[in-house]
Amino acid sequence: MKSGSKHERDDVYERVTNQIIEAIEQGAGEWRMPWHRLAADTFAPVNIVSKKPYRGVNILSLWASAAEKGYASGFWATYPQWQQLGAQVRKGETSTLVVFWKFDLLEEEAESDEEEKPERHSILARGYHVFNAEQVDGFTLPPMKTLPQAERIEIAERFFAQLGADIRHGGSRAFYNKAEDYIQLPCFEVFKETAAYYATLGHECTHWSGAPHRLNRDLKGRFGDQSYAAEELVAELGAAFLCADLDLANEPRPDHAAYVQNWLKVLREDKRAVFTAASKAQQAVDWMHGFSVDHGAPAKEL
């Protein structure tokens, strides 16, 4: 098959989408989506060679694969990359597909949704097959240095404070009031876990980021009457990506379970939908990180 051909590109869309649909279906009964991470020291999947976290839809693909196969490690690499490190993928191991976009005009390749660079007309979706650290022999993983919970909470508090959003507390519901441009959350004490408060805040801040005078995220043209469900999916993914960046758990919110069937409908009818949703979520997270004094996610030592 010719690299970058339309058939291959369509196959990449379909294979990634099908994997995520399957992960959503498996967790629907307990409202446990592939982006829910219960361990407080979880993080976005990282390429062990480049030391860079994966982004967008690739985070979902790797999280879904790790959950299905029970991998505790968040480190991944291609077959040749593991060989480069002196490791060997065990015989019979199954790879996980990740996607990069190649922009031919500038000979640039990046983890990004093609919709983010509409001015470039020659765009190829390229699939790469990666293996988890638990699928290889001959390599000792470096210890992952994590911050104490108190420091993580301090970082999260500072991160959200720097956004300058109008955040109000009270009542029993969490929502973003688009008309008056404020975020409403129940009081901090209502949440069973501290991380749950920040995960909920991350969800609402993702909604907040899409206001017309901010990122101007309007999904009606892309998703029509499914735009509300699509926006909720963007906010769910935005919260998950933020929690990963801040090393906080992202536990299921049963009050969002009603969206699952709508999300599945959107994904089944449009194999590019999850790519768009993940891209919009990543865009929102990147934009919010721009408010941080260090202009980026907290550094993680490998």
> Contact at 8 Å (CB) between 152 and 167?
no
pTM attached to this predicted model: 0.86
Q: Is the pLDDT of residue 185 over 50?
A: yes
Residue 168 φ then ψ, to 5°: -115, 150
49-104: pLDDT as tens digits: 999 999 999 999 999 999 889 898 899 999 999 999 999 999 999 999 999 887 65
| pLDDT tens, position by position, 100-141 | 887 654 444 556 555 555 454 456 778 999 999 999 999 998
With 0-12 CB in 10 A as exposed, 13-18 as middle and 19+ as buried, what is 128? middle
3-state secondary structure (DSSP) of residue 51? coil
- Closest to 278 measured CA to CA, from 218, 242, 236, 234: 234
